[in-house]
Chains A and B, each alone.
Chain A
Amino acid sequence: MDSFLYILALAGIKLGIVFTLVLLAAAALVYLERRIAGIIQDRLGPNRTGPFGLLQPFADVTKLLMKEDIVPEAANKKIHGIAPIITLGVAFVVYAVIPFGDYILINGEKIYMGLATAPDINIGILFILAMTSVGIYGITLAGWSSNNKYSLIGGLRSAAQMVSYEIAMGLALVGVVMLTGSFGLSDIVRHQDGWLWNIFTQPLGFIIFLTASFAEMNRTPFDLPEADAELVGGYNTEYSGMKFGMFFLAEYANMATSSAIIALVYLGGWTLPVPAETLGLEDGSVLLGLAQFVTFIVKIFAMTIFIIWVRWSIPRFRYDQLMHLGWKILLPLGLINLVLTAVGIKIFA
């Protein structure tokens, strides 16, 4: 059963499921964001399209699709078109290494619940870091190719911000890797089984990673690349129609991705709150797989709600404050966390 076609078919089916899930999640997040913003600001939010306004995201997408796609006369047309594709592509590619659960047995064949067919890719975390560093290009090129000063400033800000916070992010993850002894995401999740979540063993690392995630997502309080009040719309000022829609979609897909990574690395991922034996679920049964999947999704959902909550509660940082926080506070804290983890492992293990 290890033939080329089998691998291809399996990957294709998984790809279809994951893409559908991410797109649905992005639509749900747009709706949630607007409704939660409404609640926080003591108003209703969109509630007219469909029951409770649930069809609002689909109406939004339809509107974006029908709008005229305007490319500025002075823009670099080719790169102007490629930039949103890069941004959205990178947001999706990260799912290649995210495990949605352990494995399920179908006809005695182990099927891993994740896009990667080999479960022991030992580089999951490094892959995610590599992809976040590549994600800079989409926004930077969008800003540059638009040939607009606001776009350019937005693009440059985003690049500087992401390069700065990547370091703190990487350092925070090193602590987790030291505890687990592996770069593999499945190994990291298995290591947290039985409520041994990394948020308890690595509280400082969790705070650093969470803060850096906000910066990497370009979300408030770190949404300087698109600071509406100073830069019109930042890097996406000159984008309209579905090209703008792709940036918009990428923002929410990135939110789901970041939440998934935080849930995997710090919140125990798909490990069940009670041991599988007490529930009477066998290793590799479809029910156990479903239970793990649901646990994971609930954690992602809780995390995204938190991210939305932060956006509507905390005002935007100033640019120098952002750089100060990244280089002078988070980076030293990351190093301290590293030393503490090393000492802790030496004492307790």
Chain B
Amino acid sequence: MTLEIISFVVFALLAIASALLVITAKHPVVSAMSMIFHFFMLAGLYLTLSAQFIAVMQVMVYAGAIMVLVVFAIMLLNLGDEGKLRSGFNFRKLVAWFLGGALAVQIAVLLSNGALSNTAISEKASELGTAQVIGGELFTNYIYPIEIVGILLFAAIVGAIYMAKKNLPTEE
């Protein structure tokens, strides 16, 4: 038993448990909290793979920024009567069952093939996970995609400001 395996098992089990809690919790705030916890456990899993930069970014962007908005929305809308939302059999459920089953079969086939058994971390992995390497790649080989993402985000910000200002009373 090495440290990697122990921490992997702990993080993986907690990640699965919190993911289950996200969809089974009665209260939306509890769901949101378990999702934040899940993101932390995912970050831990990234760390066991020596991907330190992605691990921290995971916490910063998903747990720190996106989930704050989710929690805000839940609090301000005061969702609480989820009992009324329960519905019986519908088409969506059927599709969900089908897709879930397909995923389970895929994973089972992959596992029995032995495709996932060779998971030793290569020497290079710890070098590739650092911010320097990722930044270097992004600003040399992937410079065009990153510029396009930048323009897209800028357009989104402009759009958000326009939509926020539309409902303001004009100053006169």
The chain A residues found within 8 Å of chain B, CB to CB, are 4, 7, 76, 78-79, 82, 121-123, 126-127, 129-131, 133-134, 136-137, 140-141, 144-145, 152, 155-156, 159, 163, 183
| Chain B proximity of A133: nearest CB distance (Å) | 3
Q: A122-B130, A140-B71 are in contact. Are A76 and B56 (CB under 8 A)?
A: no
Contact of B3 among A7, A129, A130 (CB under 8 A): A7
- B residues within 8 A CB of A131? 59
User: How does the 8 Å CB contact mask read for B39-73 relative to A, with 1 for contact and 0 for none?
Assistant: 00000000000001101110110011100100110
Give chain B nearest CB distance to A337 CB in angstroms: 20
> Known contacts being A126-B60, A133-B68, is A76 close to B29, with CB within 8 Å?
yes
Q: Which residues of A contact B130 (CB under 8 A)?
A: 122
Q: Is the CB of B57 within 8 A of A126?
A: yes
Instruction: Kindly list the 10 A-B residue pairs having the minimum CB-CB distance in the complex, ordered from nearest.
Output: A133-B64, A130-B60, A130-B59, A126-B56, A144-B75, A123-B56, A123-B52, A4-B3, A130-B56, A122-B130
Contact A137–B2 (Cβ < 8 Å): no
Flag if B75 contacts A121 (CB, 8 Å): no
Contact B131 A129 (CB under 8 A): no
Verify B75–A134 contact, CB threshold 8 A: no
Least CB distance, A296 to chain B, in whole angstroms: 24
- Chain B residue nearest in CB terms to A166: B64
- Among A4, A123, A152, A183, max chain B CB count under 10 A is at A123
- A123-B2 contact, Cβ under 8 Å, with A134-B64, A144-B75, A159-B68: no
Q: Assuming the A-B contacts A76-B27, A79-B30, A122-B131, are A130 and B64 also in contact, with contact meaning beta carbons closer than 8 angstroms in the complex?
A: yes
Q: How many whole Å from A210's CB to the nearest CB in chain B? A: 22
Residues of chain A within 8 A (CB-CB) of B12 are none
Structural contact, B29 and A141, CB atoms closer than 8 A: yes
- Known A76-B27, A79-B30, A144-B29; judge A121-B52 contact (CB<8 A): yes
> Given B6, B59, B132, which contacts A134 in the complex, CB threshold below 8 Å?
B59
What's the least CB distance linking A2 to chain B, in Å? Answer: 9
Verify if B19 is at the interface (C-beta below 8 Å from A): no
Give B47 Cβ to nearest chain A Cβ, in Å: 10
A134-B63 in contact (CB<8A): yes
B1 at the interface (CB under 8 A from A): yes
Smallest CB–CB gap between A135 and chain B, Å?
9
State how many angstroms separate the Cβ of B153 from the closest Cβ of chain A.
14
CB distance from B171 to the nearest CB of A (A): 15
Query: In the bound complex, what is the Cα–Cα distance between A130 and B33 (angstroms)?
Result: 16
Q: Do the beta carbons of B33 and A82 come within 8 Å of each other?
A: yes
Add 4 more A-B contacts to A7-B3, A130-B60, A133-B68 (CB < 8 A): A140-B71, A144-B75, A155-B75, A159-B72
Inter-chain CB contacts under 8 Å: number: 69
Cα A82 to Cα B130 in complex, Å, equals: 34
Which B residues are in CB contact (< 8 Å) with A134?
Answer: 36, 59, 63-64
Return B121 CB to nearest CB of chain A, in Å.
15
Give the residues in chain B near A78, CB-CB below 8 Å. 30
Task: Tell me how far the C-beta of A77 lies from the nearest C-beta in chain B, rounded to whole angstroms.
Answer: 11
Residue of B nearest to A132 (CB): B64
A122 in contact with B52 (CB, 8 Å): yes
In the complex, which residue of chain A has the Cβ closest to the Cβ of B55? A123
Residue of B whose beta carbon sits closest to that of A78: B30
- Given A123-B52, A144-B29, A183-B131, A136 and B68 contact (CB-CB distance below 8 Å): yes
Distance between Cα atoms of A4 and B3 in the complex (Å):
6
In the bound complex, how far is the Cα of B67 from the Cα of A163, in angstroms? 12
| Chain A hits for B132, CB < 8 A | 122
Q: Which of B6, B27, B68 has the most chain A CB atoms closer than 10 A to its own CB?
A: B68
What is the CA–CA distance of A155 and B1 in the complex, to the nearest angstrom?
44
Contact status A163-B68, CB under 8 Å: yes
List the B side residues contacting A7 at CB < 8 Å. 3
- Chain A residues whose C-beta falls within 8 Å of the C-beta of B52 in the assembled complex: 121-123
Which residue in chain B gives the minimum CB-CB distance to A126?
B56
Contact with A along B71-109 (1 / 0, CB 8 A): 110010000000000000000000000000000000000
Least Cβ distance of B104 to chain A in Å?
Answer: 32
Q: Mark B100-142, 1 if CB is under 8 A from A, else 0.
A: 0000000000000000000000000000001110000000000
Cα-based distance from A79 to B59 in the complex (angstroms): 21
A-B contact pairs, 11 of them (CB 8 A): A4-B3, A4-B6, A78-B30, A130-B64, A131-B59, A133-B60, A140-B71, A140-B72, A140-B75, A163-B65, A183-B131
Asked whether, in the complex, the Cβ of B68 is within 8 Å of the Cβ of A4, the reply is no
Bound CA–CA A78/B132 (angstroms): 42
Distance between Cα atoms of A137 and B64 in the complex (Å): 9
Q: Which B residues are in CB contact (< 8 Å) with A130?
A: 56, 59-60, 63-64
Question: Which A residue sits closest to B36, measured CB to CB?
Answer: A137
**Alpha-carbon distance A135/B137, docked complex (angstroms):** 32
Nearest residue (CB) in A for B75 is: A144
